[in-house]
Structure 1
Amino acid sequence: MALTDSTVLKLAPDAAAPSYRTAPHNIEAEQGLLGAVLVNNDAFYRVSDFLEPKHFFEPIHQTIYETAGSLIRMGKVATPVTLKTFLPAEIDLGGLTVAQYLARLAAEATTIINAQDYGRTIYDLSLRRDLIQIGEDMVNVAYEAPVDFAPRVQIEDAERKLYELAETGRYDGGFQKFSQALTTAIDMAANAYKRDGKLSGISTGLRDLDTKMGGLQHSDLIIVAGRPGMGKTALSTNIAYNVAKAYRGELQADGTTKAVNGGIVGFFSCEMSAEQLATRIIAERTGISSSQIRRGGITESDFEKIRDYSIELQSLPFFIDETGGLSIAQLTARARRLKRQKGLDLIVVDYIQLLSGSSKKSDSRVQEITEITTSLKALAKELNVPVIALSQLSRQVESRDDKRPQLSDLRESGSIEQDADVVIFVYREEYYLANKEPRAGTPEYEKWQLDMSLVHGKAEVIIGKQRHGPTGTVDLSFDGSVTRFSDLIQDGHLPERTY
């Protein structure tokens, strides 16, 4: 702007102090935008959806922008004449009164066409100042931290602030034309058509489950629940492996890689070690039971098979965090980090009840679980990935004749049921029947054998809740020796022959 250098210098606080660097700012851009608003109030609507008074560097500019915005929103005209009555007249602005300064802004204003570009410049410089503030806070806290203040808490807090800053540093949002939404919907349909299984979401690798759910939908919180021994971890591990195995990335114009099939998996194993999880996947792929692998009861050909599959598995985009006792804040920070560093398309958490809330003391476990499930749902939306979270069921299941689980069986069920987009129960009748084996040779034993033959190797995946699809039961095949779920071969349907 044509204001003198001395005017600009006097407006900038602390500019006279030579020993300090001035925070990033652009006084001319702020003056140009404010002038455009005063000349044509329509310029305000070009920037008001993302630009706030706090984003201006100069305090007087913050006041002018806020006051002008208030007038415009009330349907009044914001000009130098109407505005000066709301501003303190005694302020000296580089030798100019408030009235003279407002008149100078309007006289040398930029055009309304440039208003949005000027607004973005001001906004970006504000973000840079926020970055500096976060950095200064980190240094000060690290120097002055009390003895009982854990460094990891500060790291998580800094990561959270940085991620929030990254998420707010965008100009998107607000209304969009229906044609734009329509284009997005058509693109999703086209991507689904190109993807294996013609699904809108990520394929689980289980045909009948995909048919019922349409795959794993982005930003969904999917709860997989069941009593111990039902196969919750086995099902989630199978799905995670299938997603990672099917991964195919495509380089985008901006240099990033986007998954066009399958995805990159982050698995939080709070119960099992990474080695145990890897053994399970090896057992599932090779058909050699994990107990045999652990005992060393394998042949040379078995070992060669394990070795060959291990080479294949090494290239999988499958990342495991085996840290026990994670807080939900730690889990969230680590998921964000993986998304930023490697990419992330699916998160698996095994399991909810082994996580802790962010606060050390909670009034009740129900409140803590509520915080955990709400945070998991927020994480799914924030990273735009499906989150599969495992959950235990209460013991009341065992007291019923029909032990098929239902929503009320979820531990601390209120928050879990409310926050989840999909709730899946894993149920195996075979597990319960096997524990009721009568004495051999009795009529009851013959009936038991018949019942066992009907349910042997079968599992039910009961969809108890689904926001965007039907509920119901999906029958799957389950091989307990290698903890593998697979599609159930229906009677009268033979598997395809492979040569």
Structure 2
Amino acid sequence: MAEPARLMPVPAGEPTTLPCNVEAEAALLGALMIDNRLAEDIQGTLRPDHFFEQVHGRVYEAILKLVDKNMIANPVTLRPMFESDEAMRELGGPAYLAQLTGSGATLIGARDFATQIYDLALLRELIGVGREMVEKAVDTSDTVDPKAQIEAAEVALYKVAEQGGETGSVKSFGQATKMAVEQAERALNSGGHLSGITTGLEGVNSRIGGLHRSDLIILAGRPGMGKTSLATNIAFNAAQRLVRDREDGIEDAKSMGAAVAFFSLEMSADQLATRILSEQSNISSENLRMGKISQADFRNLARAAAELEGLPLYIDDTPGLTIAAMRTRARRLKRQRGIGLIVVDYLQLLQGSGRSSDGNRVQEISEISRGLKTLAKELHVPVIALSQLSRAVEQREDKRPQLSDLRESGSIEQDADIVLFVFREEYYVQSREPKRPLEGDDAKTFEAHDQWARDMERVFGLSELIIAKQRHGATGKVKLRFESKITKFSDYIDDSHRPPGM
């Protein structure tokens, strides 16, 4: 069993004591030198700087180096590496290495020793974060910015909380292969096309395989195309799928759904909630806002509200968020609520740090897009960021967006794993309605309006989701239905595929 932890005095004469167990460190090193195979089990978690006694950390590092070279690490092979080590000399010189292997019984508790050394190192880091927080809060010599200090403290705490396990970015090919096979298994179990988190839209899932973890997905379009509506639909569908999977006894890790954090910088939380309630109760959001509903409608509304009460969808409608503040809030939600999907509406409303921008908006947007991609990788969740498009779209005859239309920065395209454009031809056809013909007007006026009516019938309720970039697969288009009254996107079903009588 591991030795009980002790408190050691902090250097520089400070009164605070730091938790450590030097005896456990010595016992672990002894066990490693007796059986080098133990290093394989613990080196992924335990680092040399986790040891309180610096000499022990250097011995541990030397053992790992020899093991990595397929050499035996024991007191004899390690001795030349510590002949001139002053700190080792204080402990008795290289002979100290032989003393560490004195008890073969340490082999039994080696993993327990490693766990305790790691845990105590975390406690020391926590004390360091706390001390730094106090020092910064007390020091008023510089410009006082409490919010920035809080954000910095949360980042530091998150780093401590997320340590351990597979924290490093380097993974063996075996580990990477295992993850790839797990993804393929998820796709197989879902019916052969969904390896990520569901969008709730079969046509979209079949083209992109769902929303993949660590991906930055840019969802862009001109005003009026329905970007926020589609993002809201996807967020709701992912959260609802998680609830259903939980009811079916499926673990969260194996669910095709996810808890969602929705950062709404444009709309308030109640406006977003109204959209979702409108979709689920099939009542126009305009009628909901104005109270133009019947008793039957209100009963449907109450039923929908009751069903959605426990939905794992968390809305943050704080305006003017910086990318740093948003990342801090996302980390907190990941830790507290286990979120598996982040939606940002929209990218251009986020602010940069202020240091890199210096009035350069393109540079600021680049910082924000990089920050969102970093967040996706750090939290291992997909991030959907909505984005505006430049007015260049309106100058072309074909209004379908292109990658070059992404507003203010080419880095958005560069950082994104997937770029999606929402396009509704109906919006443009509707806006060019000709003069309504009156009795006595010439045939051309009637024909022009009839042609417009035919065009409207052709495009009514139709939407295109253009996959302009995809690291994981092909580009292309997906047809969708859009019900503007309840702001709902759904799968497009061609008339040729409808059952008879529908």
> Which TM-score applies when normalising by structure 1?
0.85
Alignment of 1:112-191 (within 5 A): 117-145=112-140, 148-170=143-165, 178=174, 184-191=179-186
Q: Contact conserved, 2:468 with 2:475, CA < 8 A, in 1?
A: yes
Task: Tell which deviates more after alignment, 98-107 or 280-289.
Answer: 98-107
Q: Partner residue of 1:465?
A: 469
Helix, strand or coil at the partner of 1:202? coil
Matched, 1:453 2:457: yes
Alignment of 1:27-42 (within 5 A): 27-36=22-31
Which residue type is aligned with residue 397 of structure 2? D
Q: Contact conserved, 2:344 with 2:386, CA < 8 A, in 1?
A: yes
Q: Partner residue of 1:417?
A: 413
Q: Contact conserved, 2:10 with 2:18, CA < 8 A, in 1?
A: no
Q: 1:157 to 1:438 in 2, by over 3 A?
A: same
Q: 1:13 to 1:143 in 2, by over 3 A?
A: closer
Q: Contact conserved, 2:389 with 2:407, CA < 8 A, in 1?
A: yes
Following superposition, the deviation at residue 279 of structure 1 comes to 1.6
Q: Contact conserved, 1:33 with 1:109, CA < 8 A, in 2?
A: no
Matched, 1:405 2:401: yes
Q: Contact conserved, 1:68 with 1:83, CA < 8 A, in 2?
A: no
Distance 1:417 1:119 in 2: 44
Following superposition, the deviation at residue 152 of structure 1 comes to 2.8
Q: Contact conserved, 1:197 with 1:203, CA < 8 A, in 2?
A: no
Q: Contact conserved, 1:265 with 1:346, CA < 8 A, in 2?
A: yes
Task: Tell which deviates more after alignment, 410-419 or 283-292.
Answer: 283-292
Which residue type is aligned with residue 336 of structure 2? Q
Distance 1:375 1:21 in 2: 37
Distance 1:190 1:271 in 2: 38
Matched, 1:85 2:83: yes
Following superposition, the deviation at residue 84 of structure 1 comes to 4.0
Q: Partner residue of 2:486?
A: 482
Following superposition, the deviation at residue 361 of structure 1 comes to 5.8
Q: How many residues align?
A: 485
Distance 1:263 1:68 in 2: 42
Helix, strand or coil at the partner of 1:224? strand
Q: 1:153 to 1:172 in 2, by over 3 A?
A: closer
Distance 2:367 2:347 in 1: 11
Distance 1:494 1:236 in 2: 27
1:236 to 231, 248, 257: 231
Matched, 1:427 2:450: no
Distance 1:319 1:14 in 2: 42
Following superposition, the deviation at residue 122 of structure 1 comes to 2.3
Following superposition, the deviation at residue 391 of structure 1 comes to 0.2
Distance 2:171 2:275 in 1: 48
Following superposition, the deviation at residue 320 of structure 1 comes to 0.9
Matched, 1:207 2:197: no
Distance 2:87 2:54 in 1: 15
Alignment of 1:366-405 (within 5 A): 366-405=362-401
Q: 1:303 to 1:317 in 2, by over 3 A?
A: same
Q: Partner residue of 2:357?
A: 362
Q: 1:218 to 1:300 in 2, by over 3 A?
A: same
1:245 to 240, 255, 271: 240
Helix, strand or coil at the partner of 2:20? coil
User: Alignment identity in percent?
Assistant: 49
Distance 1:261 1:186 in 2: 16
Q: Partner residue of 1:4?
A: none
Spell out, residue by residue over 1:121-146, the C-alpha distance to the aligned partner (whole angstroms, 9 max, x if none): 32332122111111222233233356
Following superposition, the deviation at residue 209 of structure 1 comes to 1.4
Q: 1:377 to 1:175 in 2, by over 3 A?
A: closer
Q: Contact conserved, 2:208 with 2:473, CA < 8 A, in 1?
A: yes
Which residue type is aligned with residue 391 of structure 1? S
Distance 2:337 2:499 in 1: 37
Helix, strand or coil at the partner of 1:486? strand
Task: Tell which deviates more after alignment, 311-320 or 440-449.
Answer: 440-449
Following superposition, the deviation at residue 67 of structure 1 comes to 5.7
- Which ranges of structure 1 fall in alignment gaps of 5 or more residues? 2-7
Which residue type is aligned with residue 396 of structure 2? R
Matched, 1:276 2:271: yes
Following superposition, the deviation at residue 238 of structure 1 comes to 1.3
Distance 1:225 1:63 in 2: 52
Aligned-residue Cα RMSD (Å) equals: 3.6
Q: Contact conserved, 1:32 with 1:110, CA < 8 A, in 2?
A: no
Q: Partner residue of 2:262?
A: 267
Helix, strand or coil at the partner of 1:418? helix
Q: 1:252 to 1:337 in 2, by over 3 A?
A: farther
Q: 1:100 to 1:268 in 2, by over 3 A?
A: same
Q: Partner residue of 1:333?
A: 328
2:432 to 436, 442, 445: 436
Helix, strand or coil at the partner of 2:479? strand
Following superposition, the deviation at residue 439 of structure 1 comes to 2.1
Q: Contact conserved, 2:221 with 2:387, CA < 8 A, in 1?
A: yes
Following superposition, the deviation at residue 464 of structure 1 comes to 0.4
Q: 1:412 to 1:116 in 2, by over 3 A?
A: farther
Which residue type is aligned with residue 82 of structure 1? P
Following superposition, the deviation at residue 379 of structure 1 comes to 1.9
> Which TM-score applies when normalising by structure 2?
0.84
Task: Tell which deviates more after alignment, 104-113 or 127-136.
Answer: 104-113
Q: Partner residue of 1:5?
A: none
Task: Tell which deviates more after alignment, 466-475 or 150-159.
Answer: 150-159
Distance 1:129 1:490 in 2: 63
Q: Contact conserved, 2:366 with 2:409, CA < 8 A, in 1?
A: no
Following superposition, the deviation at residue 21 of structure 1 comes to 5.3
Following superposition, the deviation at residue 61 of structure 1 comes to 2.9
Q: Contact conserved, 2:214 with 2:378, CA < 8 A, in 1?
A: yes
Which residue type is aligned with residue 86 of structure 1? S
Distance 1:429 1:89 in 2: 75
Helix, strand or coil at the partner of 2:490? strand
Following superposition, the deviation at residue 183 of structure 1 comes to 5.5
Following superposition, the deviation at residue 252 of structure 1 comes to 13
Distance 1:230 1:316 in 2: 27
Q: Contact conserved, 1:84 with 1:102, CA < 8 A, in 2?
A: no
Which residue type is aligned with residue 214 of structure 1? G
Spell out, residue by residue over 1:350-400, the C-alpha distance to the aligned partner (whole angstroms, 9 max, x if none): 000000123456232222222222222222222222211100001111111
Task: Tell which deviates more after alignment, 267-276 or 242-251.
Answer: 242-251
Following superposition, the deviation at residue 283 of structure 1 comes to 2.2
Distance 2:206 2:339 in 1: 24
Following superposition, the deviation at residue 86 of structure 1 comes to 2.5
Task: Tell which deviates more after alignment, 437-446 or 349-358.
Answer: 437-446
